Amino acid sequence: MEAFDLFCTLLRGITDIYGIGGGLLEYRASLLAGHGFATLALAYYSFEDLPKKFDTIDLDYFEEALCYMLQHTQIKGPGIGLLGISLGADICLSMASFLKNVSATVTINGSGFNGNKAMYYKENCIPPLGHDLRRVKVAFSGLLDIVDIRNDIVGGCENPCMIPIEKAQGPILFIVGQDDHNWRSEFCAQIASERLQAHGKEKPQIISYPGTGHYIEPPYFPMCPASLHKLLDKPVMWGGEPRAHSKAQVDAWKKILTFFTKHLGPSPKL
């Protein structure tokens, strides 16, 4: 009987999107499923029949995934949640801004800007902000520090390369590491907050963790201080101090679960 009840229970839906590394990562989605969320870990390049590289970001693909979730017989509507990290966070912000039926969005160390590839949805296009590799620094360890390579944000929160998050449906939670060396996530979250308020929206929730780097993973996952950057094909540093970063991962996971439970609904009683 319990198995039958589980099969018939409508679950809250979340789409989980990772960053520039591509491929399919399912461990975070599996952990969310253990908390009563029907979670789709969504690959968007470098997996099976998907393109090995991407030259543009087309939101039509992500809209198809959103529709799939909403039409699933075990998904409780009317909307779903979005969870993304790094580039995946910015894709989630774009989905929330352009697509319907998004109830809540969590971004982990996103930027709020379209980075290196043009982003399209129907007749809309967000141009890339771009970067300047001459700003790359070499740390004492020999690792590259890319935190300042992005082009200057001319115009602040009204820069044309910024995602129009004032159009987003549902609340947004920004989780940022103060020692993020991929880009300055805390600064970007503040600009996103300024944009929302400038357009008459409420100030979003920003949770900022000192001593915390770029890859804020689920609790007890090992910290990733450096790795090979997929686009640069060179080892780069991601930042973070081990103790502070590990504590942030534990706390951030609790905050994510609380946020989705609040805005998507409580876990079904099985």
Q: Which of 16, 145, 179, 180 is catalytic?
A: 180
User: Is residue 180 annotated as a catalytic residue, yes or no?
Assistant: yes
Question: Is the Cβ–Cβ distance between 5 and 270 less than 8 Å?
Answer: yes
Tokens 């939101």: give the residue.
Answer: 59
Could you confirm whether 246 is annotated as catalytic? Answer: no
CA distances (Å), origin 229, targets 35, 144, 211: 32, 10, 21
214 carries an active-site annotation: yes
Give the CA distances from residue 115 to residues 51, 56, 105, 152, 192, in Å, rounded to whole numbers and listed in that order. 19, 11, 19, 12, 15
Do residues 121 and 98 touch, judged by C-beta distance below 8 A? yes
Distance CA 54, CA 36 (A): 33
Q: CA 33, CA 76: separation in Å to the nearest integer?
A: 14
- Parallel, antiparallel or unpaired: strands 205-209 and 172-177: parallel
Of the candidates 165, 185, 188, 168, the residue with the CA atom closest to the CA atom of residue 177: 185
| 90, 214, 245, 246: the active-site residue | 214
Which residues have a catalytic role annotated? 86, 180, 214
